[in-house]
Amino acid sequence: MTTVTEAAGGAPVRTVRPRGGVSRSVRDSLVVAQRNLIRMLRIPEVVIFGLIQPIMFVVLFTYVFGGSINVPGAPVGDAQAYREFLMAGIFAQTVTFATAGAGAGIADDMHKGLIDRFRSLPMSRGAVLTGRTLADLVQTALTLVVVAVVALLIGWRTHENILKVLAGFALLLLLGYAFSWIGALIGLTVRTPEAATSGGLIWLFPLTFISNAFVPVNGMPVFLQHVAEWNPFSATVAAARLLFGNTSSRAPTSVTGAWPMDHPVLASLIWSVLIIAVFRTLAVRKYRSATA
């Protein structure tokens, strides 16, 4: 903020007050995010390779498993019903698998000494991680748009108004942003980008497959049904299906009576906000101790 005062001789003197902590942190975070987005543009193969995997999942699951998996409440062998059941899971997998890239990017910055250079600048400590996760969110959003277009081309359709559909995608991106903080913590913990990539994927596979993303939960063993329906990933998938209109009124919302499956939108919000609060705190603390 700038104020104008008068000097002894009557001439106006401008006094610049230092910005507050919040405004400074926001400004620094946006600068770091811009830096990471520019780097992504200069290395387009990173974005291109990030698109290949989700598109492959869309095509393979649709045409390989589409006629063999029965969706509750739909006719046996209904490929269109499975296509609509599947896509929310593919979208959720796409945004969460960006976690590995976030962790590898931060580990690479640590390995090259870039974080040490940021330390020498008069900037907010948390801004380095916040800016990185915001840049990853933008890249994830672009990937999600491309995957959604591919899904439309193979026959996926929504059956709700545009506001609900956008709300579904917003929940998916919020989950992706929450998981990027897990990736940030992993990237700060390991020593190499390769280890961050492996560490960012090894726990994602059971999380995404022990869920309602690709197959109905009712076919799982009973103990896995409880795990799947309390899985934060499952809550967001169920919420997206509901907001996209990709659910059947004849199918039960929950097999085990789990609260998140009966209130998926609220549960998705709670899980994502809780993950952000916990892992952002841990990641910023780790960042400060790693660069102290």
Break the chain into its structural domains and give their ranges.
21-290
- Residue 10 has a pLDDT of 53
Q: Residue 5 carries which DSSP code?
A: E
pLDDT in tens, 25-62: 888 888 888 887 887 777 777 777 777 888 888 888 88
How many Cβ atoms are within 10 Å of 148's Cβ, its own excluded?
19
- Residue 21 has a pLDDT of 66
Q: Which residue has the higher pLDDT, 181 or 71?
A: 181
- Residue 4 has a pLDDT of 47
Question: Is residue 78 predicted with pLDDT exceeding 90?
Answer: no
